[in-house]
Amino acid sequence: MSNTLLMQLSEVYLAYDTVTSSRTDAPNFVLLDQSISSRGRLSPSV
């Protein structure tokens, strides 16, 4: 598995974990931008 694929998998897991969190301020959904210019940035939206 390449480092890029491993990073993508971790980003998806982090997004999933953030949305399914039991915290009261957890976002309802997360937009994950996979474009080259913003790779790895999560945009939580409540």
pLDDT value at position 6? 87
For residue 25, the 8-state DSSP code is: T
> pLDDT per residue over 13-27, tens digit each?
988 888 888 878 877
Report residue 30's pLDDT band, with 50, 70 and 90 as the boundaries: confident
For residue 7, the 8-state DSSP code is: H
Say what the pTM is: 0.56
Residues 22-31 as b/e (b if ≥16 CB within 10 A, e otherwise) read: eeeeebeebe
Q: Is 10 or 36 the better-scoring residue by pLDDT? A: 10
pLDDT value at position 32? 77
